[in-house]
């Protein structure tokens, strides 16, 4: 009898990694560009790795790391000095960044789970053949079409009830497929007419995305976002890359019916109307269309970020790729899973600024926030634009802002420049009954000039 193993089962049957394999992997991570300028994080990683190799069943504690790696007194007060916890958060991000970029093809992976400082080494489950070919097809104009239809859904969609789900999903798929075709037709607009519009500031800014490489517009993955809502935990980029969140569903603390609902969700590539509207605003830009490549987060190949310009639509909850830039950003769109509430974190508030910005009602209008971040890519060979809001309508409002001649000119005036540098802008958006009432600049940061 010829039995074929699932990728996760095949990985589990491999021999545990040897000490030499662990050391070699960690040495490659420590020597990568992500750790080159951070000696303390490199020392942190090397120290906990040595402890794991010496005794995999032991545990290394915060007090020990503070003394051995950061030079604190062995009796220092951890309640007053959180240097280990802060650096552990950054270390986890750098490790995830390595496996999303330089180490995307590593077979052995390492992670430091939250609540522990001990590294965990695991063999990566190989991707199915269809997904492998998709991940390496960056030379094609578009990735091969996924088996499921890209379906737009309204914000706040309700999961189908257990039982009879398959029939309901088929009906929804048929109806939403028609809607998808209508939206696709709306995106095929007359670019000649747009090119004739007078928008010198917008054209000058977005021309940076036409030089040297194509520009990928990456739509969010609302299937993942809804899965996070149900499980009340985020899906980190490392799990998103190797699809381990699928295997982990078996042990999720929810009912079998809910697991079945999640699996059904993951068979579809859901996007919101607000995200499609955001993409449309960028697709309308004069002269940019021939250079654009539209895809969805789940099918974005990891190596594309090293070579192409990228526009990530949506925050890290629905577009995990955005999390790779958290360490470079001051304003990030975050999510409180327990309260099911998105908010913006201001990591280094300046006088007059808040540390967090949350959604509220103001004079009968819904007030949300969005972040625009114009940054270099990891290899500094191209540009990245992150367009993220506390909901999909706020995301669409941010896209309208960054494609508006009036608003781009306003940014040039605010920054006192004639050519926009790399920047972050925090916007406050208000709307009534789904109609936008405007976007207001709350705060901004500017960085070095673009290349």
pLDDT digits (tens, 9 = 90+) for 332-376: 999 988 778 899 999 999 999 999 999 887 666 788 999 999 999
Kindly give, in sequence order, each residue whose CB lies less than 8 Å from that of residue 117, ignoring residues fewer than 6 positions away: 48, 59, 60, 61, 62, 65, 84, 88
Quote the pLDDT of residue 248.
85
Quote the pLDDT of residue 13.
57
| Count of structural domains within the chain | 2
pLDDT digits (tens, 9 = 90+) for 23-52: 999 999 998 888 877 888 999 999 999 999
Quote the pLDDT of residue 185.
40
Q: What is the DSSP letter of 336?
A: E
Q: What is the DSSP letter of 287?
A: T
Are 276 and 333 found together in one domain?
yes
Quote the pLDDT of residue 362.
61
Are 110 and 187 found together in one domain?
no
Classify residue 130: in a domain, yes or no.
Answer: no
- Name the domain boundary from 123, 139, 158: 123
Classify residue 409: in a domain, yes or no.
Answer: yes
Are 65 and 183 found together in one domain?
no
Quote the pLDDT of residue 348.
94
Helix (H) or strand (E) holding 168: helix 165-187
CA–CA separation, 127 and 144 (whole Å) = 16
Are 291 and 419 found together in one domain?
yes
Are 100 and 168 found together in one domain?
no
**DSSP secondary structure string for all residues of 110-166:** EE--TT--S-EEEEPPPPPHHHHHHHT-TTSSSPPPPSS-EEEE-TTPPPPPSSSHH
Closest CA to 312 of 255, 404, 378: 378
Determine contact, residues 277/396, Cβ cutoff 8 Å: yes
Quote the pLDDT of residue 451.
59
Classify residue 387: in a domain, yes or no.
Answer: yes
* Residue showing tokens 């309308």: 284
Quote the pLDDT of residue 126.
58
Classify residue 436: in a domain, yes or no.
Answer: yes
Classify residue 136: in a domain, yes or no.
Answer: no
Quote the pLDDT of residue 432.
65
* Residue showing tokens 């977005």: 206
Are 104 and 209 found together in one domain?
no
Classify residue 142: in a domain, yes or no.
Answer: no
Classify residue 200: in a domain, yes or no.
Answer: yes
Q: Enter the tokens of residue 311.
A: 């526009």
- Name the domain boundary from 123, 139, 162: 123
Are 249 and 291 found together in one domain?
yes
CA–CA separation, 425 and 445 (whole Å) = 7
Are 79 and 169 found together in one domain?
no
Residues of the chain with pLDDT under 70: 1-13, 125-198, 362-364, 432-437, 450-451
Q: Enter the tokens of residue 141.
A: 């104009």
Are 356 and 217 found together in one domain?
yes
Quote the pLDDT of residue 277.
87
For residue 90, the enclosing domain spans: 7-123
Kindly give, in sequence order, each residue whose CB lies less than 8 Å from that of residue 158, ignoring residues fewer than 6 positions away: none
Are 184 and 330 found together in one domain?
yes
Classify residue 140: in a domain, yes or no.
Answer: no
Half-sphere exposure of 313 (CA within 13 A, CB side): 35
Closest CA to 427 of 333, 363, 362, 352: 333
Are 182 and 72 found together in one domain?
no
CA–CA separation, 193 and 309 (whole Å) = 25
Are 110 and 188 found together in one domain?
no
């Amino acid at each position: 009898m010829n039995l074929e193993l699932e990728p996760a089962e095949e990985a589990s049957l491999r021999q545990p990694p040897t000490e030499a394999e662990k050391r070699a992997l960690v040495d490659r991570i420590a020597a990568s560009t992500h750790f080159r300028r951070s000696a303390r994080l490199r020392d942190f990683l090397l120290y906990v790795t040595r402890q794991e190799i010496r005794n995999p069943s032991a545990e290394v504690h915060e007090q020990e790391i503070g003394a051995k790696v950061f030079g604190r007194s062995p009796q220092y007060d951890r309640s007053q000095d959180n240097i280990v916890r802060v650096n552990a958060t950054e270390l986890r991000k750098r490790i995830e960044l390595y496996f999303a970029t330089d180490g995307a093809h590593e077979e052995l992976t390492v992670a430091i789970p939250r609540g522990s400082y001990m590294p965990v080494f695991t063999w990566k489950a190989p991707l199915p053949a269809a997904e492998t070919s998709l991940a390496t097809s960056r030379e094609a104009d578009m990735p091969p079409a996924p088996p499921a239809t890209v379906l737009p859904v309204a914000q706040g969609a309700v999961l189908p009830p257990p039982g009879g789900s398959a029939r309901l999903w088929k009906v929804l798929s048929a109806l939403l497929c028609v809607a998808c075709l209508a939206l696709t037709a709306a995106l095929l607009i007359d670019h000649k007419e747009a090119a004739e519009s007078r928008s010198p500031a917008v054209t000058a800014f977005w021309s940076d995305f036409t030089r040297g490489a194509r520009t990928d517009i990456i739509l969010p993955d609302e299937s993942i976002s809804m899965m996070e809502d149900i499980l009340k935990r985020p899906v980190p980029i490392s799990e998103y890359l190797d699809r381990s969140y699928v295997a982990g569903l078996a042990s999720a603390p929810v009912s079998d019916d809910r697991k079945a609902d999640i699996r059904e969700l993951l068979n579809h590539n859901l996007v919101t109307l607000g995200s499609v509207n955001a993409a449309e605003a960028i697709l309308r830009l004069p002269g940019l269309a021939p250079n654009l490549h539209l895809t969805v987060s789940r099918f974005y190949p990891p190596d594309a970020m090293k070579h192409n310009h990228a526009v990530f639509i949506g925050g890290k909850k629905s577009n995990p790729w955005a999390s790779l830039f958290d360490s470079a950003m001051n304003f990030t769109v975050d999510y409180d899973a327990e309260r099911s509430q998105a908010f913006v974190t201001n990591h280094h508030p300046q006088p007059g600024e808040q540390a967090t910005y949350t959604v509220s009602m103001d004079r009968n209008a819904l007030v949300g926030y969005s972040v625009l971040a114009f940054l270099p890519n990891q290899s500094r060979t191209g540009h990245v634009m992150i367009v993220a809001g506390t909901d999909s309508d706020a995301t669409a409002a941010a896209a309208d802002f960054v494609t508006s001649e009036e608003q781009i000119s306003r940014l040039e005036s605010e920054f006192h420049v004639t050519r926009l540098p790399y920047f972050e802008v925090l916007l406050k958006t208000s709307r009534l009954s789904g109609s936008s009432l405007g976007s207001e600049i709350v705060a901004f940061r500017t960085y070095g000039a673009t290349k």
